[in-house]
Chains A and B, each alone.
Chain A
Amino acid sequence: MKAVISLVLMLYATAGWAATSAPHDAALETRYRLLISELRCLVCQNESISDSHADLAKDLRNQVRVMMEDGKTDREITDYLVARYGDFVLFRPRFKGTTAALWLGPFILVGLGALVLIYSVVRRRRRAGDVPLTGGEQQRLRSLLQDVQGEGKG
């Protein structure tokens, strides 16, 4: 990766004579766009630093660009920002102790819901099959059956 970037940077440097304000190379630009859309702006919180017009977002975009041009990997850049602003700066925070509830919570809730559902369905079905009739119900059943038999004869 580093080799590629330095190659790209070298090419960029040689192109410098042609156009001093030449655009950054496309691969780096794509990486840059992608990364800044993954980073949260702490001022506007629901915006990425790519979308935000806050001053801090501008500074952080600049910082990301400088670090990329220095040949830093995405991981190194996000590590740098997490060390300063915390996991909150990432829209998709890394999985670790403090973020486990965030990542696993929904699955645990769905799992619990499924357990409750299965439990209650099984219970209901079993109850429908197993519960014996009370004395009164037995009597009523018998008299109904007799009525039916009586009608059959008549």
Chain B
Amino acid sequence: MRARSLIPLGIFAALVALLWAGLYLNPREVPSPLIDKPAPEFVLPQLQDPTRQVGSKDLLGKVTLLNVWASWCAACRDEHPLLVALAKTGRVNIYGLNYKDTRQDALRWLNDLGNPYLVSAFDEQGNVGIDYGVYGVPETYVIDRAGIIRYKVIGPLTEENLRTTVLPLVRKLEG
């Protein structure tokens, strides 16, 4: 009889736990259906040299970060020093996807803040962005040697998510 009277309390506790956990979820982080799928193919002009191209084929063979950025994106400014520092360590190849930007603004940005990218692709119309399911710049894709997307950071890279998630994953993929 006593145990039975605890049932409503148990249900209430479960509900509280559920809602409590919900407080710490970020509804803006929508899991990407592209995880563990091949990175969508693209060929785009390079940001710094419109006569040359860069494409998904260039990402093959090494573990790569593909960072989607734009000069109009405030959060990109926050993560940029981290990318520059990471590029200096040479631990991972970083490619940029310059998303819906103007060439002039993007080049000025790289000039002022430093260029961590091996190459940035220039996606003026955002079509490649749509193929990659980009919806909140900045976004960073971790792509393995075979060109499979293994992870996606939505929003800015931080010291914490680099240290706890991205870099360990890169190391593991390099194996």
Contacts and interface: CB of A to CB of B under 8 A. Distances in A.
B30 A42 contact: yes
A34 B32 CA distance: 25
A84 B139 CA distance: 14
A84 B126 contact: no
B130 A88 contact: no
A85 B133 contact: yes
A82 interface: yes
Contacts of A88: 30
The B interface is mostly helix, strand or loop, or mixed, namely loop
A110 interface: no
A87 B133 CA distance: 12
B130 A86 contact: no
A63 interface: yes
A45 B27 contact: yes
B137 to A, nearest CB: 10
Given A55-B100, A59-B126, A84 B27 contact: no
A13 interface: no
Given A83-B33, A84-B34, A43 B132 contact: no
B135 interface: yes
Contacts, number: 36
A5 interface: no
Nearest to A54: B135
Interface in B16-60: 27-28, 30-34
A82 B37 CA distance: 14
Nearest to A84: B133
A60 B33 contact: no
Interface of B: 27-28, 30-34, 100, 126, 129-133, 135-136
30 contacts: A42-B30, A42-B135, A42-B136, A43-B135, A45-B28, A55-B100, A56-B126, A56-B135, A59-B129, A59-B130, A60-B130, A63-B130, A82-B33, A83-B33, A84-B33, A84-B34, A84-B130, A84-B131, A84-B132, A84-B133, A85-B30, A85-B32, A85-B33, A85-B135, A86-B30, A86-B32, A86-B33, A86-B133, A87-B33, A88-B30
